[in-house]
A and B are shown apart, each in its own frame.
Chain A
Amino acid sequence: MTIIIDTGNRIAAKAAIMAKPAVVAAYPITPQTTLVEAIAEYVATGEFKGDYICVESEHSAMSACIGASAAGSRTFTATSSHGLLLMHEMLHWAALARLPVVMCNINRVVGPGWNIWVDENDSISQRDTGWIQFYCSSNQEIFDTVIQAFKLAEHEKVVLPVMVNLNAFILSHTSMPADVPEQRIVDDFLGSYVPKWKLDIENPITFGNIIGPDYYYKVRKAMQDAQDHARKLIPQISREWKKLSGYYHGDLLELYKCEGAEYILLSMGAIGAESKIAIDNLQKTGHKIGLARVRVIRPFPIEEIIALGKQADLIVIDRNISVGLEGALFSEVKTALYGESEADVHGFIAGLGGKDVTYKDIETMCTKAMKGKTKHQIWYGVEE
């Protein structure tokens, strides 16, 4: 193991090339640019031996990954915000065609107004595409999750694309130490990619052909079953990686000081990391509160959240808004609890447009919820 100090983007690039994809196709967009530049550097130094395809748009980047993956290649790309949105059609395609593409998405605000800072509306609005979605909270977790993403995507009971999300600038451009294992460990963990099926002139088949309603219905059900398998596999893969690398960032949730808690905070991404400091401070002042950082939102951690709802009242912070309803995590947590728990669920919107969310802000939100003042969702920092 070697400790390197670098930005989230460059550590993601390091993990991606250590997984040895045969094809990377990408188009630059702030704040993802330094990630794909780092891969270009690895092409120049010879450390990346696959094909790097420079395309004319994100739609083409995902299309190239789909083609390469269908031909049996391990495939990686990265994007952000409007780039992810331009891929939207092909995100559905990659998932329905059951292609294990791995992609980093740097969570950035959707315009207008033009804004390059963090919120999670870009990836949250892709929840229904069939992609598995991870949210990272540190550069170490980015490295480990990118490696785990390939293992999960390519598993014969999953065969679905995986999106690894990291927050713009707070993670993408901030240098932090990350412990990078020897190449041999990654090679042993992932093995070489053996596609379950592929375009092959020895066995000619057509992908993406017309299918009738009955069969299409089965295709959708098979995707749902694959996500259910992924839900069981994520803890196994996290623990297998822990044995090899020593690093573990939780399963679908990362539970932090939840023992005996009467309130549990749920948050994601960089706010999830900041929340730990808030929980430490609140516990010091006698509050019985813990943290469940949501690491995976698809597949949704249904059973884990029901268990939390049976233990404690829940507080949810969303750095996204499903306009016309509420924050997506708030909605989905309540959905998971329906008929299973009587827990109160308090919701906050915070940090949209890259507005800073400090541990003090998180403490304030938690304190408000613990006083029982919030049932409906509150726009933190706007309501005063």
Chain B
Amino acid sequence: MKKYPVETSISYPKKGAMGKTGNWRVFRPILDKTKCVKCLRCWVFCPEASIHREKDGTVSIDYEYCKGCGVCANECNVKAILMKREEAEKK
């Protein structure tokens, strides 16, 4: 990739260019695979490309980058994704 010499705010495309944004999350989407009908609405609507398509047609959620916006849960027609508040890390 071509790198530019000018000192301004430029970012080059790569996975996680902004760091591991999963730690921004307050609500965690929990997928219930027994309810999922593989319609892929969550995969289409996720603004952060944090829903992965698996080879068997199911989906999984990448918690390293998911910011917990809840768009997937809102779009899911069969309510297979629920948003659950993150719990404080146990010491």
For A206, give its contact among B1, B2, B6, B11 (CB under 8 Å).
B11
Kindly state the interface size class of chain A when it binds its partner: 20 to 34
Closest B residue by C-beta to A209: B11
**Which residues of A are found within 8 Å of B78, using beta-carbon distances?**
none
Interface string of A203-219 (1 = CB under 8 A from B): 11111111100011011
Q: Is the CB of A204 within 8 A of B9?
A: no
Tell me, yes or no, whether B5 is within 8 Å of chain A by CB: yes
Q: Is the CB of B10 within 8 A of A209?
A: yes
**Which residues of B are found within 8 Å of A203, using beta-carbon distances?**
1-2
Q: Is the CB of B8 within 8 A of A97?
A: yes
Q: Is the CB of A205 within 8 A of B10?
A: yes
Q: Is the CB of B4 within 8 A of A209?
A: no
CA distance A206 to B14 in the complex (A): 11
Kindly state the interface size class of chain B when it binds its partner: 10 to 19
CA distance A218 to B7 in the complex (A): 7
A77 → chain B, closest Cβ, in Å? Answer: 20
Q: Is the CB of A210 within 8 A of B8?
A: no
Tell me, yes or no, whether B88 is within 8 Å of chain A by CB: no
Q: A97 and B9 in contact (CB under 8 A), knowing A196-B4, A203-B1, A210-B18?
A: yes
**Which residues of B are found within 8 Å of A219, using beta-carbon distances?**
7-9
Closest B residue by C-beta to A200: B2
Closest B residue by C-beta to A225: B7
Task: Determine the main DSSP class of A at the interface with B.
Answer: loop
**Which residues of B are found within 8 Å of A222, using beta-carbon distances?**
6-8
Q: Is the CB of A207 within 8 A of B8?
A: yes
B5 → chain A, closest Cβ, in Å? Answer: 7
CA distance A205 to B9 in the complex (A): 10
Q: Is the CB of B13 within 8 A of A205?
A: yes
**Which residues of A are found within 8 Å of B11, using beta-carbon distances?**
205-206, 209
Tell me, yes or no, whether A159 is within 8 Å of chain B by CB: yes
Closest B residue by C-beta to A210: B18
Of the A-B pairs whose beta carbons lie under 8 Å apart in the complex, a sample of 22, sorted by A's number, is: A96-B8, A97-B8, A97-B9, A98-B6, A196-B5, A196-B6, A197-B5, A197-B6, A203-B1, A205-B12, A206-B17, A207-B8, A207-B10, A209-B9, A209-B11, A209-B17, A209-B18, A211-B9, A219-B9, A221-B7, A222-B6, A222-B8
Residues of B within 8 A of A (CB): 1-2, 4-13, 17-18
Beyond A207-B8, A210-B18, A222-B6, 11 additional pairs, beta carbon < 8 A: A159-B6, A196-B5, A197-B6, A204-B13, A205-B4, A205-B10, A205-B13, A206-B10, A206-B12, A206-B17, A209-B17
